[in-house]
Amino acid sequence: MVPELEKASVRMKSPERVRRVIAALRRDGADKLQVISDFDMTLSRFGFNGRRCPTSHNILDNSRLISEEGRKKLKDLLHYYYPIEIDPNRTVEEKRPLMIEWWTRAHNLLLQQKILKSDIAEIVRESEVMLRDRATMFFDKLYHHHIPLFIFSAGLGDILEEVLRQAKVLHSNITVVSNYMDFDDKGVLRQFKEPLIHTYNKNNTVLENMEHCQRLSGRPNILLLGDSLGDLSMADGVANVENVLTIGFLNDRVDERRGKYLDAYDIVLEKDETLDVVIGILCYVLRET
């Protein structure tokens, strides 16, 4: 069906279930499909040439807009909280308050920095952010088939939209829900808009009354892409779901986390910096092969 599923990076607990869901997605076609995806380390690359690529927060944190002292404090937060975020031995309940603490502390530091809206395009251009290989094909294919792409991100919405804009893939089929900045009339960052989205509240609690949920209710088939176990709740707000195929990028601490990822995601992609498998599935579902 999908030759890309033979790649060495692919792991599946139940290939039979994967086959069944992909067959259902193909049977129902493009009109019934929507894609829900995380951004950081899912659509963007985790690493390149042995170096880590930045998250949307890191693009800002590492930029010239942040003072040396601010940068150090943000880095300290990252080194303290990121291992907690991905710790396979802690429950989500334990992690949730700590993630709120991380996001709140990081956003408060950013608020002290006099960040200008007009600087965002340039710091994105100067950053080392990269989308996964074949991202352009992924975005263009969804756009050309009128398949809605809902990007649900605990990163920074203003930054990730600019990454997509510069890659020329911010098409009109995309809806983003993320942490957006609020600028004053001089264009200076003054606060972050509510609600705060962190890794472990990506669900309907932050999506209430969002018009996109209604717009998408006629599309009962979902392809869900994520890299965190918190990403699996991103489709919870969608009504009348029929078939969901989940694909998880396992980027870091692979051996320790493999078991949990295999239990949670239909398809696990280990250290795979490409969108090959996603595109392979889309081609099959869209009858392009």
Q: Which residues bind Mg ion (CB under 5 A)?
A: 38, 40-42, 227
223 binds, among ligand TMP, Mg ion, none (CB under 5 to 8 A by kind): none
CA atoms within 13 A on the CB side of 87: 17
Is 38 among the catalytic positions?
Answer: yes
Q: What is the per-residue burial (b if ≥16 Cβ within 10 Å, else e) of 64-87?
A: ebbeeeebebbeebbeebeeebbe
Nearest residue (CB) to ligand TMP, 182 versus 242: 182
> Which of 18, 73, 102, 245 lies at the binding interface for ligand TMP (CB under 6 A)?
102
Pairing relation of β-strands 181-183 and 243-250?
unpaired
Site string for ligand TMP, 25-64 (x = CB under 6 A): -------------xxxx-------------x-xx------
Which residues in 223-242 contact ligand TMP (CB under 6 A)? 228, 230
The residue written with tokens 């809605």 in the block is 148
The catalytically annotated residue of 40, 158, 266, 276 is 40
55 binds, among Mg ion, ligand TMP, none (CB under 5 to 8 A by kind): ligand TMP
- Residue 244 CB, nearest distance to ligand TMP (Å)? 18
**Axis-axis angle for helices 135-144, 276-285 (nearest 10):** 20
Residue 254: what residue type? V
- Residue 30 CB, nearest distance to ligand TMP (Å)? 26
- Does 155 interact with ligand TMP (rule: CB under 6 A)? yes
Among candidates 271, 240, 56, 63, which has minimal Cα distance to 160? 56
